[in-house]
Amino acid sequence: MVHIMVKVKYPPHILEEFLKFYLSGKAPKYPDYVKRVHQWVISGYEYKTINIYELPEEKLYEGMKGIAKRFSAYAAFKGYKYKMVPLIEGSEALDMMK
């Protein structure tokens, strides 16, 4: 399994409209093999959300496309930004440095 982190930021003035869209179910669905394992929300000047997804390694490319399709659906909201980052375990990183 591999993990993908998606960090989202958006300004407070779009929260109500943003949540309506989020709860409407209109955004594209994740592929069946993509599982969100964590979601944290941080409030401050901007709202921030950190999502961690788990998916099979052999589906990494297709999974990242599916996740990006979902998060891109929110791009019409002014001030909305997201960043997708593949993650690796510390032991895997050490193996890469050998």
Q: In the predicted model, is pLDDT for residue 17 greater than 70?
A: yes
The predicted-structure confidence for 40-68, as pLDDT tens digits, reads as follows 999 888 999 999 999 998 999 999 999 99
Phi-psi region of 45 (alpha: psi -120 to 50; beta: other; left: phi over 0): alpha
The total of structural domains in the chain comes to 1
- pLDDT for 84 equals 96
Q: In the predicted model, is pLDDT for residue 93 greater than 90?
A: no
**Confidence band (pLDDT; 50, 70, 90) for 97?**
low
Say how far apart CA 53 and CA 48 lie, in whole Å: 16
Measured at the alpha carbon of residue 32, what is the angle toward residues 26 and 33, in degrees to the nearest 5? 135
- pLDDT for 43 equals 82
- Give me the amino acid identity at 96: M
- pLDDT for 89 equals 72
Over range 8-28, report the average pLDDT.
91
48: CATH = 3.30.70.260
Residue 76 belongs to what domain range? 2-97
Average pLDDT, the chain: 90
Cα 74 → chain centroid? 12
